[in-house]
Amino acid sequence: MNTNLRFDNTEIAFSQKSSPQLRKAYMLFKIMGSPKLVSLGSNLALFGLKARLPFVSYFIKSTVFQQFCGGINRSDCSELVSNLNHSGVKAILDYSVEGQESDEQYDNKTDSIIESLKTVKCNDGEAFGVFKPTSIGAYSVFENALKEGATDKTKVAFERIRKRYQMVFTEAAKLKVPVLIDAEETWMQDAADLLALEMMSTYNTEEIVVFNTFQMYRHDRLKALNAWIKKGKKNGFKVGAKLVRGAYMEKERERAQKLGYDSPICKDKKATDENFDNAIRMVFEHIDYCGLVVGSHNESSTLLTSSLMKERGVKPGDSRVAFAQLYGMSDQITYNLAAHSYNAIKLIPYGPIRHVLPYLIRRAEENTSVAGQTGRELTLITKELKRRRIL
Ligand SMILES: Cc1cc2nc3c(=O)[nH]c(=O)nc-3n(C[C@H](O)[C@H](O)[C@H](O)COP(=O)(O)OP(=O)(O)OC[C@H]3O[C@@H](n4cnc5c(N)ncnc54)[C@H](O)[C@@H]3O)c2cc1C
C-alpha cells in the first residue's frame, strides 16, 4: 500500500468548513443514523413537496439539500467550485433532475448537457460532463427497447435517445471534454449499456470522452468490464470506466424477490468489496487502453488504487485516473487526495428541490443503511470539532 496517503487528517479534510457548518453536519449525520427518522423524513418530504407546503421546502433546503447539493442552478455553485479549486479539487456539476417525461423535456435536457460541456471546457475548475440515461429518455423505453416484443413506438423512441447520445458525444469529442454516464437499475441498464458501448466505439478511439458506469455490487459486472476491454482492444477503442459500488441495492433485491428471479447483487458487502477491488485491478492490467474514475467513499479501495498507480508507474496527476466523491461525503478522502496531487473530484448535484429529492433520499438512505458510513462521517466530524475545541 502507498504509505504516504492517509485519510485521518481532519484539518485538511474540513478546511473549507466553518465551525457552524461542521456542527450542522454533525447533527445531520446523527439524525441520518436512524433508519426510522430517515424513512419518516423522506415520506414527509415527499408529501410536503407534493402538497406545496412552504416550510417543508425551507426545511429540506437548510438541511440535506445544503449538505449534499450545490444549489438550485449553476451560478449558485460557482463560489463552491472556486473554493474547491483552491484546494486542488475539481468539480463535476450534475443537474440532477429526475422524473422528466416528455420528448420536449428530454431534448431540453440534452441541450443543457451540451451547453454544460462548453462551460466545463472553459472552466478549469470542472473536470467532466455527466448525465443519467433516463434524464434524456423515458425509463420505459430503456426498459423495453431490447425486448423481443418491443413496439414500434418504443423502437422509434429509442432511436431518438440514440440521436441524443450522439449529439452529446459529438460535442464532447469536439471539445475533448469527457462525459460520465450514470448507471441505474438493472432492468433498464442493458439498453443504456448498448448505447454507451456504441458511443465508445465511435468516440473513444483517441481521447477517452465516454465513461460508462459499472456498478460493482452486481456480480456480473466484472465479466462485463472484461468483455468491454477485450472488445475495445480488438476494435481500436478505449474503455472509460467509472467504478461505483451501486446505489439501488434494496430496490434490486426487493424486485428480484417479488418477481422470483436471482438477485443481481453480490451476496454480501465483502463480495461487493472484492468485486470492486478486482475491477480496479482489471483496469490497471489494461491501463493503456482504459480511463478510470473511482467513484467511492471507501478508503481501502482508494488506497488500493493509489498503490496500483505507484506499482504501474502512473503518476498521481495522470489524466487516466481520477477519484470522485459525492459532495457532502468523505471530505477526508477528497482533500487528502488533492493534497497529494491526485485528480480529486467532487460530484455536486444541483437543481430545484423537488427534482433533486429522489437523489437526496438516496443519500440519506445510503448513510443509514450502509454499515459504517454514518459512523465514519460522524467520527471524522467529531474529531475535527474536538480539534477545534468546540465539542
Ligand atoms: C462520483 C460518484 C458517482 C456515482 N455514480 C453512481 C451511479 O452512476 N450509479 C449508482 O448506482 N451509484 C452511483 N454512485 C453512488 C455509489 O454507488 C454509492 O455512493 C456507493 O455505493 C457507496 O459505496 P462506496 O464505494 O462509497 O463504499 P462503501 O461505503 O464501503 O460501500 C457501501 C456500498 O456497498 C454495497 N453494499 C453494502 N452492503 C451490501 C451488502 N450487504 N451486499 C452487497 N453489497 C453491499 C452497496 O453498494 C453500498 O452502497 C456514485 C458515487 C460517486 C462517489
Residue 326's Cβ-side half-sphere holds a number of Cα atoms within 13 Å equal to 23
C-alpha closest to that of 344 among 17, 87, 70, 40: 87
Ligand 1, residue 246: give the atom nearest the CA.
17
Q: Does residue 324 have its Cβ closer than 6 Å to ligand 1?
A: yes
Q: Which three cell numbers, joined as nine digits, stand for 265?
A: 447483487
* Residue 100 covered by a domain: yes
Q: Does residue 183 have its Cβ closer than 6 Å to ligand 1?
A: yes
Q: How many residues does the chain have?
A: 391
* Residue 284 covered by a domain: yes
Q: Which three cell numbers, joined as nine digits, stand for 159?
A: 432511436
Q: Which three cell numbers, joined as nine digits, stand for 52?
A: 406545496
- State the amino acid at position 257 in one-letter form: Q
Q: Which three cell numbers, joined as nine digits, stand for 6?
A: 492517509
Distance 156 CA to ligand 1 centre (A): 33
Give residues with Cβ within 8 angstroms of 151, minimum separation 6: 144
Q: Does residue 244 have its Cβ closer than 6 Å to ligand 1?
A: yes
* Residue 36 covered by a domain: no
For residue 290, the enclosing domain spans 71-355
The partner residues of 349 in beta bridges, in order of sequence, read 94
Distance 43 CA to ligand 1 centre (A): 23
What pLDDT is stored for residue 375 in this prediction? Answer: 76
**Distance (Å, whole) CA 35 – CA 40:** 9
Q: Select from 219, 244, 298, 299 the residue to mutate for testing ligand 1; criterion: most ligand atoms less than 8 Å from CB.
A: 244
Q: What DSSP designation does 218 have? A: B
* Residue 58 covered by a domain: no
* Residue bearing cell 496500483: 308
| 3-class secondary structure, 224 | helix
The gap from C-alpha 290 to its chain's centroid, in whole angstroms, comes to: 19
The total of structural domains in the chain comes to: 1
C-alpha closest to that of 131 among 170, 184, 185, 69: 184
* Residue 382 covered by a domain: no
Q: Which three cell numbers, joined as nine digits, stand for 237?
A: 477503442
Distance 248 CA to ligand 1 centre (A): 8
Rounded average pLDDT per 10-residue block, the chain, 391 residues: 77 91 92 84 85 86 93 94 95 84 93 95 94 96 97 97 98 98 98 98 97 98 98 98 96 97 98 98 97 97 98 96 96 95 97 90 76 72 93 85
* Residue 44 covered by a domain: no
Distance 55 CA to ligand 1 centre (A): 31
| 3-class secondary structure, 88 | coil
| 3-class secondary structure, 374 | helix
What pLDDT is stored for residue 371 in this prediction? Answer: 56
CATH number at residue 103: 3.20.20.220
Q: What DSSP designation does 213 have? A: E
Q: Does residue 59 have its Cβ closer than 6 Å to ligand 1?
A: no
* Residue 105 covered by a domain: yes
Distance 259 CA to ligand 1 centre (A): 24
Ligand 1, residue 325: give the atom nearest the CA.
53
pTM of the model: 0.94
* Residue 270 covered by a domain: yes
Residue 131's Cβ-side half-sphere holds a number of Cα atoms within 13 Å equal to 27
3-state SS of 103-135 is: HHHHHHHHHHHHHHHHHHHHCCCECCEEECHHH
